[in-house]
Chain A
Amino acid sequence: MMTATPVVETRGLVKRYGDHLAVAGVDLLVGPGEIYGLVGPNGAGKTTTMKILATLLAPTAGEAFVTGIPVGADPLEVRRRIGYMPDFYGVYDDLRVWEYLDFFARCYGVPANRRATMIGELLEIVGLTEKRDEYVETLSRGMRQRLCLAHTLVHDPALLILDEPASGLDPRARVEMREILRELRSMGKTILVSSHILPELGEMCTGVAIIDRGRLLRSGSIDEIERSLRATALLRIELLGDEDAITAASEWLGTDSRIADVLGGTRSSDGAIRIEASFDGPPEAQADLLRAMVEAGHRVVGFSHATSDLEEIFLKVTGQIDEEAAA
């Protein structure tokens, strides 16, 4: 038995546009209070998945539940429980900021006596208090983004579905957006957020699902995903020598069974040639590899880990699948 109803659950979600499979069987499970990231390159199916959850698209197959309610069966009830921010959206530019929020509050049936105070609180949260009486069209992009975020909160929903909330923002505005999301989480909101950049989500997400071409590649906490990939380290080896030496080194590395593949030969400015190889083994084994390599006569000037950041995890995961598909 489950202890708590998941806020989002999808099972075998499929969306087909003609021949194109936008979402090909995605299973998601997001518990209450999570910030859950959907990560994937553009066109991976993130937006489609979110639109299905936001009751704006009907899935071709599969089921989706928001707080236990089947999305297709009662869209109006689902809508009362979610706040949705699309990836691309416009604003009614001939309204003032407070009127914009007031409009959406009315749309969600917020009683009149609660609207005024609530609008003040929301503007406080997203940092637009001073802009209350400005026209929406005068706001900067970051401010509009925050205003749109505020509009998703007018009815105090359990779940926020935010599609690329940080896209097109400058670094500072991104940080601000991230801070706001943290604050919302501390208020008990469950947040489903998408991005095509994993690091953007890494720091704040409790869980991540990596999606590519409509398929769910990995899901879990970032640590879990990282650990599952940590076993293989990406080594960056810098060598001196001409083309033959490089080829020889690559071949030598290729004979080692622990080396999965060798990406070779970018020449750096100081004349060294850089080879990258993914190596399956603990640090001790890596040290042995270096010694053996030097003993074999290769002129190694650099031997390091290629920094394994989230971006790389992401590339690895999506890349691995490519290979699996090719094999």
Chain B
Amino acid sequence: MTATGTTAQRPARPSAAREFVASVVTIMVKELRSRMRGRRAFIVLTVYLGILALITYGVYVIVAPNAQGITGGGGIGGFGGPANASALIGQSIFTLLSIFQLILICFIAPAFTAGQISLEREKQTLDLLISTPMRPGAIVIGKLAAALAFVVLMIVAAIPITAIVLMYGGASVDDIVRQQLVLLATALGLGAIGLFFSALLKRTQAATVLTYITVLALTIGTTMLFIFWSVVANQTEGGFGAGAQKRAPEVLMYVNPGVAMLDVVSNTEPGGFGGISGTLAQLRGNAPDFGANVECIGNECRPVDQFGEPVDDVAETGSGYWWPRVSLTFVLIAAVLTLAATRLVVPAGMRWAFRRPAPPRRLAPTTGPAGNLVDDSSPVIQELNEEPDR
């Protein structure tokens, strides 16, 4: 039903893939034409970048005068001095920028997609759209891509602001790349959630509300559940903080974009941002104290426990971080929900018809005038039969 499904195994119709892509592009062109028209898009982007610029400036104003003092006493990594003060400024800016950007994206991405299909229903344009020979999957993907294109523009447009941290140090290009990946994956996942509800529900309002409830559940909800679960689990063992703890299943946090972003900002090179990292580690349960127990070989740092052994859970994913898992989860969520939305767009009762071009039970009546009728149009029918079942 999707592009990948139809392309590879359909030599009889080599244009199917191109057709699919053309349909996606068609939807995107139309959506972007109306979205980017007028001042709305311009204003949204300006406000977004303005907020981020203000945050950057605000952090600088607050942190800069104190950075010397904080780092002067042999602080993070034991370096101290002006160089480290600069890194602290950079890290602070990077951290706050990343978190704010994530929060903004969490609000913006669903807002752009939650009306994509229900609005067409409300404005009675959906019938016109789905009575075209475009595949439903192409329509849905085009809608998602168009909505995300603008979000991607916002995310990418903020790179120059983020890049200011490169001047101060404390975060590297790698960190910015990671931050971008997390933001993009989040936008994709949350956008797909909005699109799914938009396809599921008749009213845009209901779709929007449900989408935001889901976003809250994924961020704040999972965090609270995780903490609550862990506390309960530990109470039976004699209290939180008593030795190696039981904790809630880690998978719970794989759907939490906040964790991914905290993971990115707390593991900036070199050494990471102690405070948040500690909290995050507490949440994970393996409690590596990045401030004190970090083993650096050259530019590579990894957390170690009290005995100088690398911390297992962190070590096992190479860089040992959660952001790839969370990002991957969001990509998977997006794929599943896009498929689901596709099925919802197809008229009820016709879903099977789009999967199998020529189901035997409806084809070729052999008697009566219509039998002749079908024979007369044999080229068409042949074409039908030639179409292999994907």
Contacts and interface: CB of A to CB of B under 8 A. Distances in A.
Q: What bracket does the count of chain B residues touching chain A fall in?
A: 35 or more
B353 A72 contact: yes
Contacts of B368: 11
Contact of B125 (A1, A11, A76, A90): A90
Interface string A61-98: 00101011110111111011010101011111011000
A56 B133 contact: no
B39 interface: no
B132 A6 contact: no
A2 interface: yes
Choose among B133, B347, B365, B381 the residue with the greatest number of A CB atoms under 10 Å from its CB: B133
A75 to B, nearest CB: 5
Nearest to A5: B376
Contact of A91 (B125, B131, B132, B350): B125
Q: What bracket does the count of chain A residues touching chain B fall in?
A: 35 or more
Nearest to B124: A90
Contacts of B156: none
Contact of B377 (A11, A68, A86): A68
B16 to A, nearest CB: 10
Contact of B380 (A6, A11, A68, A148): A68
A91 B124 CA distance: 8
Contacts of B124: 86, 88-90
Tell me if B's interface is mostly helix, strand, loop or mixed: helix
A63 B373 CA distance: 13
B370 A11 contact: yes
Given A58-B350, A73-B358, A94-B37, 16 more contacts: A11-B368, A55-B347, A55-B353, A58-B347, A68-B374, A68-B376, A68-B380, A70-B363, A72-B362, A74-B353, A75-B353, A76-B133, A86-B124, A90-B124, A91-B125, A95-B34
A109 interface: yes
Contacts of A80: 133
Nearest to B348: A58
B40 to A, nearest CB: 10
A5 B377 contact: yes
A15 to B, nearest CB: 10
Contacts of B133: 76-77, 79-80, 107-109
Nearest to A85: B128
A94 B25 CA distance: 18
Contact of B29 (A72, A106, A148): A106
B380 A76 contact: no
Interface string B128-141: 11111111000000
10 tightest CB-CB pairs across the interface, nearest first?
A: A58-B349, A68-B377, A90-B123, A94-B34, A106-B26, A107-B132, A90-B124, A79-B133, A73-B362, A90-B125
B376 A73 contact: no
B373 A68 contact: yes
A166 interface: no
Contacts of B357: 73-74, 76
B384 interface: yes
Nearest to B132: A107
Contacts of A9: 370, 373
B228 interface: no
A252 to B, nearest CB: 51
Nearest to A79: B133
Interface in B83-125: 123-125
Choose among B23, B365, B376 the residue with the greatest number of A CB atoms under 10 Å from its CB: B376
Contact of A56 (B19, B123, B127, B363): B127
B157 interface: no
8 contacts: A63-B370, A68-B381, A70-B363, A73-B359, A77-B380, A86-B124, A103-B29, A106-B22
A95 B27 CA distance: 13
